[in-house]
Structure 1
C-alpha cells in the first residue's frame, strides 16, 4: 500500500513525515507547547499513519488485529520549544522490528522536517485481544513496517 506520507529524500531520507497541527490550547501559560503534547503529537501521527495503511481498530480494517498494541516504554528529549500554533510535522521511523514488538523513533519537527523540537523513541508490543498476551505481527504488518526501517547510521 502506498503512503501519502512518504516524502522524497530532499525532505526526509527515511521513514515518513506526517503533518500535524498545534492549536492555541496546546500551549502552556508561558506560550510554549506543553511538554506532554510532544508525545501526544507523536501518538496521533502514528495513529494517522497506521490508519492510512489500514492498521486500525475500526471495523473492516485490513490489519485490524495488528492494531492491538500496548506501550512498553517511551522516552522524549526536548531540543527547542514550539512557541506558536500552526502546522508542524512528526517524522516517524522504525529502529527495530521484532517478533512481537517494535521500537520506533520520532521527531517533532517543522512542517518541512528541517527543525527538530523534540525527539524520542517508543517500544510497543502487539497483544492478542482475547488473551492480552504478546503475539506475533502478521506478515502483512511486517512488510509495512519494513518500509519505515531507518538505515544503519
Structure 2
C-alpha cells in the first residue's frame, strides 16, 4: 500500500490517524474474500476496540505492507492482530497491535453470533 503525501502531518511523517485507515483498508480487502463479507440483512461487524503501538514514524515516500492475523476467535467477536511493516524491508516495524470486531444484530444493536463464513475464513488463515 503506498503512503500518500496527504497522509503526512506537520512533522513530515504519517499522521497517527492514518494508521487506522491503513488497517481498515487491509481488513476490508480481507473481508471481500469472505462469502457474504461477514454481513447480511441481519448482522454486521463493528469495531469495538483498537490498540496500536506506534513503533517508528513512516516517512514519505514509502510502501507499507499490512499483515493481519487472528489473535482470538470468540462467539460474537474476532480479534485481528496487525503489523504494519516496510514493503522493502520486513524487519522495519512501524506499528503493531490489534482490533476487536464484534458482530451485531442490525435491528437491536446487540451482539450476534460470529457468522460461520467468518469463522471458516479465520481457520484458513
From the superposition, tell whether residues 114 and 52 of structure 1 become closer, same or farther in structure 2 (CA, over 3 Å).
Answer: farther
Specify the SS of the correspondent of 1:75: strand
2:24 is equivalent to residue 43 of structure 1:
yes
Aligned length: 123
Return the match for 1:90 from 46, 62, 66: 66
Kindly state the Cα deviation for residue 97 of structure 1 after the two structures are TM-superposed. 0.3
Alpha-carbon distance in structure 2 between the residues aligned to 1:90 and 1:120: 11
Q: What is the deviation of 1:96?
A: 0.4
TM-score for the superposition, normalised by structure 2: 0.87
Q: CA deviation at 1:64?
A: 3.2
Residues 25 and 67 of structure 1: is their aligned pair in 2 closer, same or farther, counting only changes over 3 Å? farther
How far apart, in 1, do the equivalents of 2:106 and 2:91 lie? 39
Structure 2 unaligned segments of length 5 or more: list them: none
1:134 is matched with which residue?
111
Higher helix share: 2
Residue ranges of structure 1 left out of the alignment (5+ in a row):
1-19, 57-62, 149-153
| 1:105 equivalent in structure 2 | 81
